[in-house]
Chain A
Amino acid sequence: MPTDGLAVTGLSFRYGSKVALKGVGLEVGPKTFCALLGPNGAGKSTLVALLTRLLVAPTGDIAIAGHDLRRVPRKALAELGVVFQQPTLDLSMTVRQNLTYFAALHGLSRAEIPGRIVSALDKLSMGERIDEKAGALNGGHRRRMELARALLHQPKVLLLDEPTVGLDAATRAAITAHVHDLADQGLCVLWATHLTDEVRDTDQLLVLHEGQILTSGQCGEVRGNISLSDWFLAQTAGPP
């Protein structure tokens, strides 16, 4: 089990009689960008809800930076940064107010919060937006702000659930590149997506289909000589 990464074993979950995840296991180490690729309805959002403890699975284990999410949820969640698919900003509050609120929710002290906010925003070239209302920002800036927010408490694991949905091509490329850089700098990144162009050949690839992990490996090796898009379509055309 990687101490600074993410480890999941035997995770199953159902909504009533409908199976959403079946025996999912994965391991992502630090300094790794792992793309969790799956078509719509594959179970990505359920997996994200379980990893963030919005839901708790009856079976299976999750360890975040070595902390068991079931036994020590506080320690585990303290090491996790999340960017949800659905925007989670309070549009009536400024960028600073949004980030201050989040930092307090993660137990950062009053003294260290302002410095952390400025530093996180500067890294995403958002420093000059600090006193703007979140509602006045465009989609790309809102996403960057959510990314800055997810990194405020300096987590070891970063989880992003389809973070580029609804963004233009340039913004998508910039955010994808930035998160790859974060992984290169040591972060463990799990990036859930259904867009194959966001995945690089050097990335770790996990394919989730109908609640099960179909494939795991380095993207370049897994796809071979065909494009990832074609390979992915072929893999997910039928039942697993």
Chain B
Amino acid sequence: MIAFWGVTRAVVGREFLRFIQQRERFFAALVRPLVWLLIFAAGFRAALGLSIAPPYQTYITYETYIVPGLCAMVLLFNGMQSSLSLVYDREMGSMRLLLTSPFPRWWLLFCRLFGSTVISILQVYTFLAIAAAFGITMPPLGYLAVLPGLMLGGLMLGALGLLLSSIIKQLENFAGVMNFVIFPMFFLSSALYPLWRMAESSPLLRDICAINPFTHVVELIRFLLYLQLNFAALGWVVFWTVVFALAALWGYDPARGLMRKKT
């Protein structure tokens, strides 16, 4: 058991070392949601009216509305960044080192997933701190209550990244991930607009948003920030985490998965 913990510490430690060595990655991850929050949201504040809907008990500004979606955005981009670095690791050979460890492969991949999620959460809290400095605050205990939601959402999106990394053959193909995964996931969700607003424009789009796993991550975070638990969102996030993780394990299985084509 101590050795299992040692592997976790080593893999998370390596992720952390990489993280502090790549400061530009940290700033890029922060700039993205801050641009949305401080520029986009400010511009759309007047155009987008929001009625009172759970978990909010009063009228809120648009900036307040999109904070949970932007937290999830940090998790989403980081999950995909992690996927990119897994593909890079495979091309550079360091993936071989991880996969030839005597520890079970599922554990090694989980450690990698956990490490990247911890880094994502650090970035989310930095983002929330900057938002608070601009006066966009949540209930104080909400910052603590959201932690498990961030962890679960980060694991779900990281597992999706892991799955994609087992499918993507080369680093160059990663641009496709941006176009076909990140953008549709983000825009077809409740991150930027509530689903009832979307239904007014297109019921079909609303239905697509409602089944998007990313929507459930956003809603889980939104409710937890206000000290409430959205059970439906929790259920869906757990479900998709398990599905993506199992599919990723299949992808990395040496006997059956997609590694056969490109070790």
Which residues of A come within 8 Å of B, CB atoms? 15, 49, 52-56, 58, 73-78, 80, 82, 84, 86-90, 92-93, 97, 100-102, 104-110
Judging by beta carbons under 8 Å apart, are B17 and A54 in contact? no
Judging by beta carbons under 8 Å apart, are B96 and A56 in contact? no
Judging by beta carbons under 8 Å apart, are A107 and B96 in contact? no
Question: Quick one: given A54-B259, A77-B102, A109-B2, are A92 and B97 in contact (CB under 8 Å)?
Answer: no
Question: Quick one: given A88-B93, A101-B14, A105-B7, are A53 and B100 in contact (CB under 8 Å)?
Answer: yes
Number of interface residues of B (CB under 8 A): 31
Judging by beta carbons under 8 Å apart, are B17 and A97 in contact? yes
Q: Shortest distance in angstroms between B253's beta carbon and chain A's nearest beta carbon?
A: 8
Q: Shortest distance in angstroms between B116's beta carbon and chain A's nearest beta carbon?
A: 15
Judging by beta carbons under 8 Å apart, are A55 and B263 in contact? yes
Judging by beta carbons under 8 Å apart, are A86 and B93 in contact? yes
- Tell me whether B255 is interfacial, beta carbon within 8 Å: yes
Judging by beta carbons under 8 Å apart, are A89 and B94 in contact? yes
Other-chain residue from B6, B17, B97, B255 in contact with A93 (beta carbon distance below 8 A):
B17
23 contacts between A and B (CB under 8 A): A54-B96, A54-B254, A55-B263, A73-B102, A75-B102, A76-B102, A78-B102, A80-B100, A86-B92, A86-B93, A86-B96, A87-B93, A88-B93, A88-B97, A92-B17, A93-B17, A97-B14, A105-B10, A105-B101, A105-B108, A106-B101, A107-B3, A108-B6
Other-chain residue from B92, B103, B261 in contact with A105 (beta carbon distance below 8 A):
B103
* Cβ–Cβ < 8 Å partners of B92 in chain A: 86-88
- Tell me whether B184 is interfacial, beta carbon within 8 Å: no
How far does the alpha carbon of A78 sit from the alpha carbon of B7 in the complex, in Å? 14
Judging by beta carbons under 8 Å apart, are A90 and B102 in contact? no
Judging by beta carbons under 8 Å apart, are A107 and B255 in contact? no
* Cβ–Cβ < 8 Å partners of A15 in chain B: 260-261
How far does the alpha carbon of A93 sit from the alpha carbon of B98 in the complex, in Å? 16
Question: Quick one: given A54-B99, A107-B103, are A101 and B255 in contact (CB under 8 Å)?
Answer: no
Other-chain residue from A58, A74, A86 in contact with B102 (beta carbon distance below 8 A):
A74
Judging by beta carbons under 8 Å apart, are B6 and A100 in contact? no
The 5 closest A-B pairs by CB, nearest first: A104-B10, A107-B3, A56-B255, A77-B102, A88-B93
Q: Shortest distance in angstroms between B55's beta carbon and chain A's nearest beta carbon?
A: 42
How far does the alpha carbon of A178 sit from the alpha carbon of B117 in the complex, in Å? 42
Other-chain residue from A52, A76, A108 in contact with B96 (beta carbon distance below 8 A):
A52
Which residues of B come within 8 Å of A, CB atoms? 2-3, 6-7, 9-11, 13-14, 17-18, 21, 92-94, 96-104, 108, 254-255, 259-261, 263
Number of A-B contacts (CB under 8 A): 85
How far does the alpha carbon of A49 sit from the alpha carbon of B90 in the complex, in Å? 14
* Cβ–Cβ < 8 Å partners of A56 in chain B: 254-255
Judging by beta carbons under 8 Å apart, are B21 and A92 in contact? yes
How far does the alpha carbon of A114 sit from the alpha carbon of B41 in the complex, in Å? 52
Q: Which residue in chain B gives the minimum CB-CB distance to A82?
A: B100
Q: Shortest distance in angstroms between A28's beta carbon and chain B's nearest beta carbon?
A: 19
How far does the alpha carbon of A87 sit from the alpha carbon of B97 in the complex, in Å? 10
Other-chain residue from A55, A74, A90 in contact with B260 (beta carbon distance below 8 A):
A55
Q: Which of B3, B97, B99, B102 has the most CB of A within 10 A?
A: B102
How far does the alpha carbon of A102 sit from the alpha carbon of B97 in the complex, in Å? 8
Other-chain residue from B2, B7, B263 in contact with A49 (beta carbon distance below 8 A):
B263
Other-chain residue from A75, A77, A82, A107 in contact with B6 (beta carbon distance below 8 A):
A107
How far does the alpha carbon of A181 sit from the alpha carbon of B92 in the complex, in Å? 30
Q: Shortest distance in angstroms between A166's beta carbon and chain B's nearest beta carbon?
A: 14
Judging by beta carbons under 8 Å apart, are A74 and B104 in contact? yes
Q: Shortest distance in angstroms between A113's beta carbon and chain B's nearest beta carbon?
A: 9
Q: Shortest distance in angstroms between A74's beta carbon and chain B's nearest beta carbon?
A: 4
Judging by beta carbons under 8 Å apart, are A100 and B260 in contact? no
How far does the alpha carbon of A93 sit from the alpha carbon of B15 in the complex, in Å? 11
